[in-house]
Amino acid sequence: MEKVNLYHIYEREFAYKACTAVLPGCCTVTAMRREEMTESSEAVYIISAFRKREGIYAIRIMPEQTGKYHYRICLEESGEAEALTVEGKFTCTAPGDGCHGKVQMKEDGFVYADGTRFLPFGTTCYAWTHQSEELQEQTVKTLKERCFNKLRMLLFPKYMPYNEEDPAVYPFEQDEDGSWDVNRIVPAYWDNLDLRLRQLGELGIEADLILFHPYDKWGFAHLTQEASMSYVSYCIARLAAYHNVWWSLANEYEMLMDKKTEDWDAYGCLLQKEDPYRHLISIHQILQLYPKKAWMTHCSIQSGNIDLVPVWKKEYQLPVLIDECGYEGTLEYGWGNLSAFDMVDRFWWTVTRGGYCTHGETFHRGDAVLWWGKGGVLYGESEPRIRFLKELLEKLPGCGRAKVHGPHTNPNGKKGEEMTEADRHFNKLMESTPVENLMGIMAEVHKVLFTDTWQLRYYGRTCPCFTWLQLPEDGRYRIEIIDVWEMTRETVMHDAVGRTRVSLPAHPGMAVLARKEE
């Protein structure tokens, strides 16, 4: 029997003639595991077949348990199509290649299917799959060498400054009137997308697939709602079997002027209903966050106002990804000219306020090959520092479940008897102040991520020459001073207990890690 590694794709093609690109729910997948399947075996997945090329459809299955699987594709006679039944079996074996399966939301963070935690450190190459093969390969090579484990990317081509070329292939054929026929898919486009998703999966990179975006001159932003729904169904049927797929309904949803608020909800519900693997789903805004819906698995936010992360977490009761907070670069646009230090600062700031951050790079170039738009190579200085942070966090036990202070927490952190009447008064005052009005006022909101055994404090652009840590009395702590730019870690103290004074070098970009001694 054919063997498939756990979390990898089993694909079966079959010949069929129909007029739609998707054959909804035609395939039932049952698992046999230890016993033989009987007629009464429960379906593991109900999936749709998708058109792969002229006259050929396929189903794809991502097995999530080891064991034996059986599938049955049943198609009734319909129009020019004859009735058809296709059956098959395969065995799913342990992955062996270090693949951890799909990423899922858990509490206020993420874990892979096998329980390994996932800390997102994303980057952005919106239109990389619409570039020349050479450039796409260069992007893959760069991603292999760099630290990012998530990639924000568009399915439709992108039209805006620095992205003005037509792509070589489009996802669909055009009708005579120039409108896109979502049922007549262009195999070359989707085959290339398959290749790229597979490559990303092999590199351990989650593909945050953006289904719709407004930066368009070809009409993809103006598909009818019916066509949009068909396109989303096709994406599910074809792409959901990639363990590393995430669904991002939109980049800047409010800028898609044809779409109504409920249209977005329809895509979210469709994904939630039809994606048998329930991959992560989010929607990204330019100004106004989309209201919370049951299909949302996390917030994907555009903002440089990172102090609000705890506010969004509280409001949505979901993990928060700052998927756009400006890009390292030198563009004439405010969203694309962060210094490398500020890009790094925003990662540390986001993480120590309880969120996750996404990178992008936009150095102005005459050839307009900017990483953020087209991929290629990275020129900036932030990525090694982001890697430094990522590796630091990955080695901290329980990091994906670490806590941060709420938006109204007085960061001075005095408790009980230490508190004066003025402290209590100030705390009450804070609680009655809209949190938006605390931003910037509370310059002293230190950024702190903590568990029972460690705390990581980030001092941002401030320059204290010393700091006070409030360490538990029931343990002894080792204190490290971290320079986020120089990427140095220096242990300055052992066996610290309780209120502890730590000298700092009084320049921007410092952090302190206190870990319980073993």
Interacting residues toward its own copies by CB under 8 A? 214, 254-255, 257, 286-288, 302-306, 308, 326, 329-335, 337-339, 342, 364, 411, 421-422, 425-426, 429-430, 432-434, 436-446, 461-468, 506-508
- Phi first, then psi, for residue 493 (nearest 5°) are -160, 145
Token pair 């935690």: residue = 117
First to last CA, the chain: 50
Q: What is the Cα–Cα distance from 457 to 196, expressed in whole angstroms? A: 38
What minimum distance in Å lies between the beta carbon of 225 and its own copies?
A: 19
Token pair of 404, please?
């941060």
Q: Which is nearer to its own copies, 238 or 446 (CB)?
A: 446
What minimum distance in Å lies between the beta carbon of 394 and its own copies?
A: 28
Angle at alpha carbon of residue 285, lines to 123 and 390, rounded to 5°: 25
What minimum distance in Å lies between the beta carbon of 162 and its own copies?
A: 13
Q: Which is nearer to its own copies, 63 or 509 (CB)?
A: 509
Return the DSSP state at 416: G
Q: Nearest Cα to 229, choosing from 200, 263, 180, 193?
A: 263
Q: Which is nearer to its own copies, 272 or 462 (CB)?
A: 462
Token pair 């928060």: residue = 320
Q: What is the Cα–Cα distance from 321 to 120, expressed in whole angstroms? A: 8
Q: Which is nearer to its own copies, 72 or 414 (CB)?
A: 414
Token pair of 217, please?
């001159």
Q: Which is nearer to its own copies, 89 or 428 (CB)?
A: 428
Sign of CA dihedral 184, 189, 191, 194: negative
Per-residue CA distances from 217 to 78, 211, 214, 255, 256 (Å): 36, 16, 9, 14, 12
What minimum distance in Å lies between the beta carbon of 232 and its own copies?
A: 23
433, amino acid identity: T
User: b/e for 311-349, b at 16 or more Cβ within 10 A?
Assistant: bbbeebebbbbbbbbbbbbebeeebbbbebbbbbbbbbb
Q: What is the Cα–Cα distance from 488 to 368, expressed in whole angstroms? A: 35
Q: Which is nearer to its own copies, 176 or 332 (CB)?
A: 332
What minimum distance in Å lies between the beta carbon of 368 and its own copies?
A: 14
What minimum distance in Å lies between the beta carbon of 213 and its own copies?
A: 12
Say if CB 494 and CB 478 are below 8 A apart.
yes
Q: Which is nearer to its own copies, 303 or 455 (CB)?
A: 303
Please state the length of the chain. 518
Token pair of 196, please?
């790229």
Return the DSSP state at 389: H
What minimum distance in Å lies between the beta carbon of 192 and its own copies?
A: 29
What minimum distance in Å lies between the beta carbon of 461 and its own copies?
A: 6
What minimum distance in Å lies between the beta carbon of 370 and its own copies?
A: 12
Q: Which is nearer to its own copies, 1 or 257 (CB)?
A: 257
Q: Which is nearer to its own copies, 475 or 508 (CB)?
A: 508
What minimum distance in Å lies between the beta carbon of 328 and its own copies?
A: 9
- Phi first, then psi, for residue 416 (nearest 5°) are 50, -120
Q: What is the Cα–Cα distance from 67 to 386, expressed in whole angstroms? A: 39
What minimum distance in Å lies between the beta carbon of 437 and its own copies?
A: 7
Residue 300 CB neighbours (<10 A): 31
219, amino acid identity: G
What minimum distance in Å lies between the beta carbon of 462 and its own copies?
A: 4
Q: Which is nearer to its own copies, 185 or 445 (CB)?
A: 445
Q: Which is nearer to its own copies, 195 or 286 (CB)?
A: 286
Q: Which is nearer to its own copies, 98 or 466 (CB)?
A: 466
3-state class (DSSP) for residue 341? helix
Backbone angle region of 89, left / alpha / beta, with phi > 0 → left and psi within -120 to 50 → alpha: beta
Q: What is the Cα–Cα distance from 193 to 414, expressed in whole angstroms? A: 54
374, 380, 382, 386: CA torsion to nearest 10: 50
